[in-house]
């Protein structure tokens, strides 16, 4: 066990211990159920605590700093009346049934991103449990849950966290969270949690406790940043790391997806991301844990071993792949897409090397972008075609199904799910959900106006959104209708069985055939074979296990002769098509008869997988 101080209200057989850190303040009082006020003990170094033997589970409490207003506990474990209400003492005991669950390893995961509030019409943990069997049938191995820590308002994405220890009450109770994770583990599904430790959200109370919670050395574009390297940072780091440990130990989450780590400013000898990663692995032991980061500078330091000074995370999200694929699918490359052309070379290079920008100049940034990653193994990259950010960072929140033909979506999905990197799906992507996913955050008055203005200004970087008529039609983030429109309609999963079947079969192929295993000892090579076509070769020690993925996002490609050695069959074998994105079961146009030894045609908007057979 760590000797790190535990913040907030901790209930045990001796009663309840309250502890806060308020460096620079002189006194702290706690009020119980709105009537009984008690002075807390000054423990020095900014800490105040009080053990109260008779305080039971369910007691509501608040703190007052230097006789100021009554405040929620910033380390509250439960806020049933919202982020501005009283905090509640909880018992973290739960009847777990996942003793045999071993956690998540780095390789061969298939992630699925979920926003609990829109995953079902009811938007609760309990109704989300009912959908776990469908995700198991789909073949995903782990869920990535968008932030669930308490934030202001009745709905939102969760990235404006204000009380990072407290599960967001509208989704359900703390034990509802545990029941979801326990049920997922029972089905063999891992669950990692998206956390936001780069800034504090609108309506926070940290400044009332101590100004030292915030940095005075670094600027953050999203809001006030936490202090990881200034005076008092040791306690702040303990607070944040303790929060991480709480989610892992008391809720059995299998790891984290850490949001925008480039904005977690830290000039300390050990970066806070490294400390968080160590804490996650220690808290999960003997289970294994998985840590994914969003890191816009694409720093190799993130995935380098802690033994050599790195942060030791398992993987980084790869916006480069998404952006190149998005341009290839839609043909549009404005705003932050302008560094990408959507060429088959970009897709081929991403399959081989993950990040496309590894230190070259970026036009959008007018600076070099990325760090060297040519030798980084594929499992360190998370690839995706949709996620919450990229779907909602558009005027209408359209998904792939609304932006491209079904055939093109099917084809590019094959590259995602059979590509060498770790794939991640966004909720509803597997059945081509037709509803948008929009930016929503329930605020009122001036706060709502500021949030809406900021989102509008960001979108205006896309030239088409600067159209005054489009400006008038942008959804209001604070409107409940915007939130409701983003909820999945699960009856579509029953109607769109072709697209669901495509995703299910591709995942099954990835799990069944050794060439697609990240642990198989394969070697990946790729090449451009047409204006919109590429080949990915999975080279195996056993030639009979080699596979070939061909992708064409343009017109039919006639292949008479093609001087590309990656198309050559394995020694002593001949190629045979064993999967096509145009299979009628996927609502495709049908499969052509193909003999690569003769003249043949690679259909437009199609992906094919070849395996080696003995010559007939």
Catalytic residues: 259, 294
Locate tokens 């404005």: which residue?
334
Report yes or no: 386 and 431 within 8 Å, Cβ to Cβ: no
Report yes or no: 151 and 136 within 8 Å, Cβ to Cβ: no
Q: What's the rounded Cα separation, in Å, for the pair 296 and 300?
A: 11
State the DSSP code for 389.
Answer: H
Q: What's the rounded Cα separation, in Å, for the pair 244 and 264?
A: 15
Report yes or no: 120 and 488 within 8 Å, Cβ to Cβ: yes
Contacts of 511 (CB under 8 A, 6+ apart): 108, 139
- Residue 50 CB neighbours (<10 A): 20
Cα first-last separation, the chain: 64
Q: What's the rounded Cα separation, in Å, for the pair 133 and 37?
A: 49
Report yes or no: 152 and 84 within 8 Å, Cβ to Cβ: yes
- Residue 503 CB neighbours (<10 A): 23
Report yes or no: 332 and 338 within 8 Å, Cβ to Cβ: no
> β-pairing, 142-145 with 190-195?
parallel
- 274: closest CA among 221, 213, 228? 228
Report yes or no: 144 and 113 within 8 Å, Cβ to Cβ: yes
Q: What's the rounded Cα separation, in Å, for the pair 566 and 522?
A: 14
Q: What's the rounded Cα separation, in Å, for the pair 533 and 345?
A: 9
- Residue 183 CB neighbours (<10 A): 20
Q: What's the rounded Cα separation, in Å, for the pair 562 and 137?
A: 40
Distance of CA 20 to the CA centre of its chain: 31
Q: What's the rounded Cα separation, in Å, for the pair 61 and 212?
A: 24
- Distances from the Cα of 228 to the Cαs of 44, 158, 199, 460, in angstroms? 20, 22, 11, 34
Q: What's the rounded Cα separation, in Å, for the pair 448 and 169?
A: 21
Tokens of 124: 């609760």
């Amino acid at each position: 066990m760590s000797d790190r101080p535990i913040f907030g209200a901790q209930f045990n057989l001796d009663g309840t211990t309250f502890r806060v850190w308020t460096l620079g303040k002189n006194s702290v009082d706690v009020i119980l159920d709105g009537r009984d006020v008690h002075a807390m003990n000054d423990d020095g170094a900014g800490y105040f605590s009080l053990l109260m033997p008779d305080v039971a589970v369910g007691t509501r409490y608040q703190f007052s700093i230097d006789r100021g207003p009554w405040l929620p506990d910033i380390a509250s474990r439960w806020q049933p009346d919202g982020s501005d209400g009283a905090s509640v003492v909880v018992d973290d005991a739960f009847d777990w049934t996942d003793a045999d669950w071993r956690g998540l390893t780095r390789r061969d995961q298939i992630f699925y991103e979920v926003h609990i509030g829109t995953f079902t019409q009811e938007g609760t943990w309990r109704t989300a449990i009912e959908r776990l069997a469908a995700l198991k049938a789909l073949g995903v191995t782990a869920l990535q849950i968008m932030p669930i820590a308490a934030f202001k308002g009745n709905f939102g994405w969760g990235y404006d966290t204000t009380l990072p220890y407290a599960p967001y009450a509208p989704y359900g109770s703390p034990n509802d969270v545990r029941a979801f994770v326990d049920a997922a583990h029972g089905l063999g599904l891992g669950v990692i949690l998206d956390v936001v430790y780069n800034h504090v959200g609108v309506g926070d109370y940290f400044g009332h406790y101590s100004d030292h919670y915030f940095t005075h050395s670094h600027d953050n574009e999203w809001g006030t940043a936490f202090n990881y390297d200034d005076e008092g940072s040791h306690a702040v780091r303990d607070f944040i790391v303790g929060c991480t440990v709480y989610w892992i130990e008391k809720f059995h989450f299998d790891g984290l997806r850490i949001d925008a780590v480039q904005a977690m400013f830290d000039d300390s000898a050990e970066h806070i991301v490294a400390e968080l990663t160590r804490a996650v692995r220690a808290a999960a032991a003997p289970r294994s844990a998985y840590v994914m980061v969003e890191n816009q500078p694409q720093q190799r330091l993130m995935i380098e071993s802690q033994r050599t000074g790195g942060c030791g995370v398992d993987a980084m999200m790869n916006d480069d792949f998404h952006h190149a694929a998005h341009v290839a699918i839609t043909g549009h490359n404005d705003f932050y897409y302008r560094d990408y052309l959507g060429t088959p070379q970009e897709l081929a290079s991403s399959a081989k090397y993950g990040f496309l920008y590894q230190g070259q100049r970026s036009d959008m940034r007018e600076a070099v972008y990325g760090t060297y990653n040519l030798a980084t193994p594929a499992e360190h990259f998370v690839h995706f075609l949709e996620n919450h950010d990229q779907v909602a960072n558009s005027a209408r929140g359209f998904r792939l199904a609304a932006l491209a033909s079904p055939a093109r979506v099917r084809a590019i999905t094959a590259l995602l799910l059979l590509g060498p990197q770790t794939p991640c799906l966004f909720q509803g992507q597997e059945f081509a959900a037709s509803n948008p996913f929009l930016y929503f955050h329930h605020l009122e008055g001036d706060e709502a106006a500021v949030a809406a203005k900021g989102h509008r200004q960001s979108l205006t970087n896309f030239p088409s959104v600067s159209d005054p008529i489009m400006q008038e039609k942008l959804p209001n983030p604070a409107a409940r209708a915007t939130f409701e429109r983003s909820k999945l309609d699960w009856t579509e999963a029953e109607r769109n069985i072709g697209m669901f079947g495509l995703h299910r079969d591709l995942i099954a192929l990835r799990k069944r055939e050794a060439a697609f295993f990240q642990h198989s000892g394969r070697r990946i090579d790729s090449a451009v074979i047409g204006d919109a076509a590429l080949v990915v070769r999975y080279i195996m020690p056993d030639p009979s296990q080699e596979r070939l993925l061909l992708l064409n996002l343009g017109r039919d490609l006639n292949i008479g002769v093609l001087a590309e050695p990656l198309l050559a069959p394995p020694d002593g074998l001949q190629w045979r098509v064993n999967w096509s994105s145009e299979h009628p079961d996927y609502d495709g146009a049908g499969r052509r008869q193909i003999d690569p030894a003769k003249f043949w045609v690679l259909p437009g908007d199609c992906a094919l997988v070849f395996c080696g057979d003995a010559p007939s």
